[in-house]
Structure 1
Amino acid sequence: MIPVKANFAASLYATISICFWGISFVSTKAVIDKLDPFTLLMLRFAIGAAFLFFLLLLKRYPLKIPVKYIPHLIVLGVLGVFIHQVIQATALLTIDASSAGWMISFSPVFTVLLSMVFLHEKLTLVRSIGIMIAISGVLMVTGARSGQTLGFAINIGYILMIISTLNWAVYSVLLKRLHIELPSLVVTFYMSLLGCSLTIPFLVRDRGWESFHLLTAVEWSHIVFLGVFVSGIAYWYWAKAHEVLEASKVSMFMYMEPLFTLIAAIFLLHEKVFFISILGGVIIIIGVLIVNGQIGTIILWRRR
């Protein structure tokens, strides 16, 4: 039995993490017109790695890692940090932040599909229905900006976001199968450091530093937020939530992410919100809940 205070604290940690991750789409959108994706990500990863390094020194965690875990960290860092963030940042060049927030909630469907292939989980009728519902929601979100009700808008940004959700699903499955026995802060630090290192050649190629003077104080604040709060605190708090709550319970908080993105996009970017887009996003979440078998869990929880 988990103590009430510990349960509340863990829930608060998870909520804060999801809040920061949801707002990250808005912060990225706010500066992506001034900086190319690689330059933006280099700054974000560098700030995040520096912040995490400070936390490691503060908590006196050893930085030395066993050689056997280096390939694991490289694979996870390339997929979960570098490729994932490059795809999302590039997608935000052509789509709005709120749509990106709704699209990312589709990721658990890909996770389930990959689990069926690699972890031999069964595809039931209920899961099939949930997948179809989630796909229809994706079509509604992507079609909202083109005036279609149920059609796929030909926009590279939406295609990239779908690739992003698939990439995150691959990363999640690998994360389950690769057991790295290191503190989560250490793992996150090296992943951020790897992400920063991989973006430096692109920064040099594009002479990205020449755009730094174009940034306003507000835009620099968005970059610091992405580095410290998104790449740093959010991952740290997410790990703290997992120390108390079961993984299935923590994952329930992920469905709040599009809501935080939507609210931030309206107030910070003044984005115009289409009803069909919101409806599509809700349908995505319903479909994902059905796929994960969590609709019944929510109903039972509300009856208690």
Structure 2
Amino acid sequence: MLEQRRLWPLYVLIFSVMLVWGLNVVALKVLVDFMEPASMQALRIFLAGLTVFFIIFLRRSFRKLTKKEWKITLAALLFGVVGHHFFLAMGLTETTASNASIILALLPVTTSVLAMMILGDPLTKLRFVGILSAFTGVFLIVFMGDGEFGALTRGDIFIFLGMATQALSFIFIRQATSTISPALMTGYMFIVGSFFLLGLSVVFEPNGIKEMFTAPLYVWAIFIGSAVLATALGHQLFNGAIQKIGAGETAVFNNFVPFFGLVSSALLLGENITMPQIASFIFIVIGVLFGTGYVEKKFILYKNKKRETDHLSL
């Protein structure tokens, strides 16, 4: 009981980060309405990287990477920074923030599937049920997003690609963080990845950076909040808390991100939340809990405790 009370501040902290991340989808939707997507993401991720490195220097935990660490980091940033943020911003120019929030909720399950395919993680019956449930939810949102069959948009495809590339980057990050701290790797990924995004913006949006500075001041306030609070500080606080409560608990908290994304999309952007979106959200939440192995682990722990209790009572 005392241990649970000590963990409450951490739970509140993670819950707050989930709220900020849900709001961040809405923030990005606003930003791409005033700024070119690739250019905006290049500067936003660069600012986030500077913030992360500032924290690292304050902690005196900076170090150079080895050649082997650089190879894995480059692979991770190409998918997790360049691919994810480019597709995410492009997708938000052509789909709703509510659709994006739900599709991004697939991240934990997709990461679990890739870990099975690439790292050899076991596929159990309960995980299979979860994966099936999660992708049923995606089918509902991308094919019946506005209440009619066949509502798939190019923006939805971009968001899905952004989610999938980030999931793939987590596989590389899992390999790299055995020797690199998550904060240090995140800093390198953001700074280097932002230059790749800048290259894309030069190719696809020649005047993108220049046109960004014509945006209103309130848009720049959203820009800074998204970069510093959501992307930089959010990841640092989240990683620090997870190290104390365990990665398995994140499956539960991650479900709040699409929920807050849906609510804030309706309240702040006036987007209509449809029945297919609600049904999709429910299917994906069930899918995350089962597909990531969270329910299975809790069930095994329950059985082991019950077995110990029965043994002691004999």
Q: Same fold (TM over 0.5)?
A: yes
Contact 1:192/1:231 (<8 A) preserved:
no
CA distance in 1, matches of 2:53, 2:131: 41
> How far does residue 147 in structure 1 lie from its aligned partner after superposition?
2.7
Whether contact under 8 Å (1:16, 1:234) holds in the other structure is no
1:212-266 CA distance string (max 9 Å, x none): 2431122111111121012211110111112211111133211111111112212
**In the alignment, what sits opposite 2:272?**
272
Query: Which residue pairs with 1:147 in the alignment?
Result: 147
Once the 2 structures are TM-superposed, how far is the Cα of residue 280 of structure 1 from its aligned partner? 1.4
- Aligned counterparts of 1:75 and 1:61: Cα–Cα separation in 2: 23
Secondary structure of the residue aligned to 2:286 is: helix
Equivalent in 175, 178, 198 of residue 177 of structure 1: 175
Q: Partners of 2:189 and 2:13 in 1: how far apart?
A: 21
Distance verdict in 2 for CA 1:42–1:229, change over 3 Å: same
Letter in 1 for 2:12: L
Q: 1:182 corresponds to which letter in structure 2?
A: I
| Alignment of 1:168 onto 2:157 | no
1:184–1:293 Cα change, 3 Å: closer
2:33 aligned with 1:25: no
Q: 1:136 to 1:5 in 2, by over 3 A?
A: same
TM-score when normalising by structure 1: 0.88
The CA deviation string for residues 42-82 of structure 1, in whole angstroms up to 9 with x for no partner, is: 12112212222322232223243334321122111111111
Matched, 1:34 2:34: yes
Contact 1:18 1:257 in 2 (8 A): yes
1:16 maps to which residue? 16
- Aligned equivalent of 1:202: 200
What is the Cα deviation at residue 34 of structure 1? Answer: 2.0
Residue identity in the other structure for 1:281: F
**Counterparts of 1:10 and 1:124 in 2: how far apart (Å)?**
31
Once the two structures are superposed, what CA deviation does each residue of 1:159-188 show, in whole Å capped at 9, x if it has no partner? 222222322222222222334423332221
Decide whether aligned partners of structure 1 residues 180 and 115 sit closer, same or farther in structure 2, where only a CA change above 3 A counts.
closer
AA at the equivalent of 1:229: L
Contact map agreement 1:18 1:253 (CA 8 A) in 2? yes
Task: Please name the residue that 2:306 is paired with.
Answer: none
The count of corresponding residues between Structure 1 and Structure 2 is 300
RMSD between aligned residues:
2.6
Question: Deviation at 1:94?
Answer: 1.0
Gaps of 5+ in 1: none
The residue aligned with 1:287 is 287
* Unaligned 5+ runs, structure 2: 302-314
2:247 equivalent to 1:242: no
The yes-or-no answer on 1:96 pairing with 2:96 is yes
Residues of 1 paired with 2:182 and 2:287: CA distance?
Answer: 31
Letter matched to residue 136 of structure 2? S
Q: TM-score, normalised by structure 2?
A: 0.86
- Hey, what's the Cα distance between the residues in 1 that align with 2:57 and 2:177? 24
292-301 vs 30-39, which moves further: 292-301
**CA–CA distance in 2 between the matches of 1:290 and 1:184?**
26
Taking structure 1 as reference, are residues 281 and 272 closer, same or farther at Cα in structure 2, changes over 3 Å only? same
Query: What is the rounded CA distance, in whole Å, between the counterparts of 2:264 and 2:99 in structure 1?
Result: 12
Identity among equivalent positions (%) equals 22
**Which shows bigger deviation, 76-85 or 51-60?**
51-60
- 1:20-52: per-residue Cα shift (whole Å, max 9, x none)? 222221111002022221111112112212222
When structure 1 is superposed on structure 2, of 233-242 and 180-189 the one drifting more is 180-189
Could you tell me which residue of structure 2 aligns to residue 186 of structure 1? 184
Contact 1:6 1:244 in 2 (8 A): no
Quote how far apart the aligned CAs of 1:294 are: 3.2
CA 86–132 in structure 1, closer or farther in 2 if over 3 Å, else same: same
Distance across 1 between alignment mates of 2:246 and 2:31: 36
| Counterpart-to-counterpart distance in 1, 2:250 and 2:67 | 31
Q: Structure 2 CA distance, aligned partners of 1:259 and 1:285? A: 10
Query: In 1, distance between residues paired with 2:261 and 2:299?
Result: 26
Q: What is the one-letter code of the residue matched to 2:172?
A: L
2:244 paired with 1:251: no
